Structures are given as C-alpha cells and as structure tokens.
Structure 1
Amino acid sequence: MKRIALFLITNLAVMLVLSVVASLLGVNRYLTANGLNFGALLAFCAIFGFGGSIISLLMSKWVAKRSVGAQVITEPRNSAEMWLLQTVERQARAAGIGMPEVAVYDAPEPNAFATGANKNAALVAVSTGLMRSMNQDEVEAVLGHEISHIANGDMVTLTLIQGVVNTFVMFLARVIGYFVDSMLSGRNQNESRSSIGFGYYITVFVLEIVFGILASMIVAWFSRQREFRADRGGAHLAGKRKMISALQKLGGAAASTLPPQQMAFGIAGGVKEWFSTPPPIEKRIAALQAATG
C-alpha cells in the first residue's frame, strides 16, 4: 500500500513543478499565441505527463527510504535480519529477478512494501511491527507478495498508466483554463493571444491539483487489481496457507500509518476503498481460497 501512495504524491508534486517550469519558460504563451493549438497542446502534455511519471518512478526508491527512515541491511545484525536476507534471496531467485535491497523501518503497524524502477535493482522493506506481530511463515508470505510485485513489473505498469492520466489531467486543465481566461478577458476563443492572463494560470494550477487527486482513483483501481495477482504470487512462493494466514493477521491489524505516497504497494490497507490501493482483506482471502493450482 505504501509504495503507490508515495508514488502518487511524488508524481503530483513533480507535475506541479513541471507545470510551473513550463509557464516560466513561456510554453503556455507559445501554445496559445494563435488560438488554442490542440495538437501541439496534447503533444506537450504527453511529453510532460509521461516525463513526470518516469521521474517519479526513478525517484521512488530514494523517496521511499527517506520517507519512512528505512535502514538497508548490508551486514545482518541478528538472526532475524539474516533470515530476511536469505528468504528474499531465495524468493527473488525463484521469481527470476535480481536480489533486491532489503530494509527494515520502525513502525508499530505490520506492513511491507517494494519499489524501484528496475526489477533487478528494487527495494523490499518491512516494518518492525510486521516482524513482531507475525511468525516466520506469515512474514515469508508477505515477502513473497512484495517479490511478486517486483517480478510482475507493477511499478512500471502503473508508471505508464500514470503517464496517460497525467497527460489528460494537464490537457484538460489547460483547455478549461484557456476558455476561462478567454471569458474573463472578453476575447474570442480563436483570437490571436499575445499573452494570457492570471485567470489561465490560476485555473490551470487549481484544476491540475483537483484532477490529479481524482485521477489517483483510476491509478488506485488498477493497483487494486495487481494486488490479487501479487497475492497469488505470494502463495506460489511461500504457500497458499501461509499467504491466507498473513492476510488474516493483517485483517485484524490497525490501520496503516504509512506516508500517503507509500500506501499503494504496502501489504496492508487503511484508506477509503476508492482511494485505497489494496482491495479489502476479505476479498483478497476469498480470491485466494477460490484460486486453484
């Protein structure tokens, strides 16, 4: 859950920064100099939209580590950390990916997440609450779930989806902003514009935030579908009984306190269902129980 929430917040911040930079460079004035050029505007939004999501993906591991204070295990300090490294290494080998970095972060709730732009150089992090509240079989299943996210390329898939969403968020915000500014200035919508007013900039800024938040619902929906697949992957790597037991344990845990942008690819939930990235625990357990093979 945590992975996507961090990704979404980083993406929104990056997009707002790119939007401001584009305005300062005069891109908006160029696109509206001879009336609204829809083709050029769409191309501009696609470049910046996908660029923003790719930048967010490349930053995901760095942001994740610092947002929760995750400590990467380089030299195991105890038997629990040694077991974590060995389990992740075994599961990564079975899933056909490179060995991820393994980290532990201090948090009371049981949770874990995986992130990274490259499936062969990813990060798997678990909370101290997870290690305390679950037995090794259940932790193994949670690790298998996160390894499956990496092997399935979920971060890259969601980055592409986010790129499409960003494109339309920027496009619609600017189209509406242009028409709002036209009405405020009293000019014809097709009239040549040597400059655009504050109505355009204010409308675009506000709508990018509003549309960006609403668009997160779309990304969250896609993320929920990937959770079922990661659960099946965890069951394959650790065993269905262990995966179901881990989900049952998570179902009785307190709501996650992970930072908003990391919520999306953590194992545990805790947000309203429309914005939540993991589906309800009971649905995930039912899907696993119904699965064959």
Structure 2
Amino acid sequence: MALRTLLFLITNLAVVLTISLILNLLTAIGLLPPDLPLLPLLVGSFVWGVLGAWIALQFSAESAKRMMGIQLVGQGGGSAENWLHGTVSVLAQKAGLPMPEVGIYGSPEWNAFATGPSPNRALVAVSTGILQGMPPAELEAVLAHEMSHVANGDMVTMTLLQGVINAFVMFLSRAVLFLLPRGDREDGRGMAPPPTMLLIWPLEILLGVLGSLITAWFSRHREFRADAGAARLTSPGAMVGALQSLGQVENLQDPRDEPTLATLKINEPPSFLRLFASHPPLDARIRALRQAAG
C-alpha cells in the first residue's frame, strides 16, 4: 500500500510539472497573459484534492460503519456470523492478506463491499439479505471478490483517483475565471468580478460530470479484475453462480445507499446511463469469467 501511494504521488507530481510546463509555454508564445497566477492555483488545487482524498481514505472504514450501521462480528456469535468470520479468515490466508474486520449491515439488498485505507485496516461487510439468502458456495465467491479488491489496493486507487479528478475540476473551473475579460484593468484580465464568479458552480458541476466518466470506467475495469481474483480463490463456477443469483434480485436496493459506497459494492442496480455505472453489466462479467475459464 505504501509503494502504491508513493507511486501515485509521484505520478501526481509529474502531472503538475507537465501542466506547469504547458502553462509556461503558452505564456511564452503569448497565448496566456504573463501575470496570471495559474501555477499557484494548480499546485493548491492538487494539494487540496489529493490531501482531501487521503483524509477521506483514512476514515473510510469508520464512515462506512456509521453510514450503514455495520455490526462487527467474530467467532462466538451465531452460526451465520461464525461461518462468515471463518470464511473470510480462510480467504485472507489464501490471498496472503491480514484478517480484515468483518461486519453485517441490515438491508434486504444482496450486496457486499470492502473498504479501508490499507490491507491492515480493511473492512469487509455483507448485507443481511445476501447472508440469509445466497447459497454458501456463492457467498464465499462474493467474499473472495471483496478480498480481491483488498489485495489489488482498489480502495486506495479509487479514492486517490477521485482526488486527482477533484483537483482538476477545482483548477479548471477557477482558471476560466482568470481568463475572462475584466473592465477595471488595463489588460482586461484578472480575477472575474463577483457576479461572474457564480460561474464556478456550474463549471464544477459540468467538469465533475465529465470526471465521473473516468472514475466509472476505472471502477468497471477493477470489477472484472476482482471477479477473476475471486474465481482463483474459489472457482469460476461459484463466481458465475453468484453473479447469476445477484441478477435475480438486483432490483432490491438499500434506501440508505450512498454514492461513495456504490463503487465499493459487488453489484449495483441496472442503469440506463451505462457510461456512468460503477459496475459492468452482470452478463458481461459472467461472459468474461467463462471466457477466462475456457
């Protein structure tokens, strides 16, 4: 996790330096005024965006517990709780991972998710609906899917990716204001007056929508990887069976669903806006598993 975070920060630094060079070049050839404070705005936006994402990541497990009312379980509970805890323990050993926290949240939906800032501080939670309704072999595959997310570091990558996108949204929406004409300066440039600054909000919304296309695409990609990891930890047939079972109940939803948790769950209800979906269609995931299994 530390190496992944370091590489990600190095990548962010490279992005900032690249954009800085582009801004300097545009200024040198006269396309941008020389006195615009775009570089400080760029650096500040990235520091704010990435730092905010990092802080959110550190509290992700605790936030999930609070929002979903998750009850942690261990050995010594009921038979279902003992089975759940024991199965996650076996999967963690197979994957070479530390034992995560295991929890249950009350909901009729059939779903599960993993979150947390690192494998050492991960949380795997399932709904009461899936725990009570899904066959054990298929539920084991669902848990293996979530453990694959932990092994792949998907929580870290998704959170920091969102931080970078937030930084770009913040930078671009405000940079536009510096480029708008201003009547009280000789060069007609500078920070826009208060009425024009109201454009920040619609610009942030527009750019945020475009940025969500990127996070949704990456989220769909990581679901295929987690499915493949689950097939290795259990079996392709069990994972296919789990996805088929989810397809039969995918219209069951939790009214407390939060957008921040939607990308973490194993399944989401069907959507007409597929470009914005955090999960691929179930039939596409089943097809990918069958093709990989030959």
TM-score band, normalised by shorter chain = 0.7 to 0.9
Label 1:57 to 1:240 Cα distance change in 2 as closer, same or farther (>3 A). same
Give the SS at the match of 1:279.
Answer: coil
RMSD across aligned positions (CA)? 2.1
Partner of 1:276: 277
Give the SS at the match of 1:113.
Answer: strand
TM-score (ref. length: structure 2): 0.81
Deviation of 1:200 after TM superposition, in Å, equals 5.2
Label 1:58 to 1:190 Cα distance change in 2 as closer, same or farther (>3 A). farther
8 Å contact from structure 1 (residues 101, 123) kept in 2? yes
Partner of 2:292: 291
Deviation of 1:292 after TM superposition, in Å, equals 3.6
8 Å contact from structure 1 (residues 179, 189) kept in 2? no
Structure number with greater CO (CA < 8 Å, separation at least 6) is 1
Deviation of 1:246 after TM superposition, in Å, equals 0.2
Give, as a single letter, the amino acid of the residue that structure 2 aligns with 1:260: P
Give the SS at the match of 1:274.
Answer: helix
Deviation of 1:92 after TM superposition, in Å, equals 0.8
- Structure 1 position 217 matched with structure 2 position 218: no
Q: Deviation digits for residues 15-41 of structure 1, max 9, x if unmatched? A: xxxxxxxxxxxxxxxxxxx94222222
Label 1:248 to 1:190 Cα distance change in 2 as closer, same or farther (>3 A). same
Distance 2:186 2:211 in 1: 31
TM-score (ref. length: structure 1): 0.81
8 Å contact from structure 1 (residues 174, 200) kept in 2? no
Count of matched residue positions in the alignment of Structure 1 and Structure 2: 256
Residue pairs, 1:63-142, within 5 angstroms:
63-74=63-74, 76-142=76-142
8 Å contact from structure 2 (residues 179, 190) kept in 1? no
Deviation of 1:186 after TM superposition, in Å, equals 5.5
- Structure 1 position 203 matched with structure 2 position 202: no
Give, as a single letter, the amino acid of the residue that structure 2 aligns with 1:245: G
Residue pairs, 1:170-209, within 5 angstroms:
170-180=170-180, 182-183=181-182, 185=183, 187=185, 191=189, 197-199=193-195, 201-209=197-205
Partner of 1:19: none
| Identical-pair percentage | 44
8 Å contact from structure 1 (residues 100, 121) kept in 2? yes
Label 1:202 to 1:170 Cα distance change in 2 as closer, same or farther (>3 A). same
Give the SS at the match of 1:110.
Answer: coil
Give the SS at the match of 2:217.
Answer: helix
User: Which ranges in structure 2 are unaligned for 5 or more consecutive residues?
Assistant: 1-33
Higher deviation after alignment, 220-229 or 264-273? 264-273
User: Which ranges in structure 1 are unaligned for 5 or more consecutive residues?
Assistant: 1-33
Partner of 2:146: 146
Give the SS at the match of 1:249.
Answer: helix
Label 1:247 to 1:262 Cα distance change in 2 as closer, same or farther (>3 A). same
Deviation of 1:286 after TM superposition, in Å, equals 0.2
Partner of 2:227: 231
Give, as a single letter, the amino acid of the residue that structure 1 aligns with 2:214: I
Partner of 2:262: 263
Q: Deviation digits for residues 21-63 of structure 1, max 9, x if unmatched? A: xxxxxxxxxxxxx942222221111111111221221221122
Give, as a single letter, the amino acid of the residue that structure 2 aligns with 1:269: E
Give the SS at the match of 2:103.
Answer: strand
Partner of 1:49: 49
Distance 2:196 2:52 in 1: 21
Label 1:64 to 1:188 Cα distance change in 2 as closer, same or farther (>3 A). farther
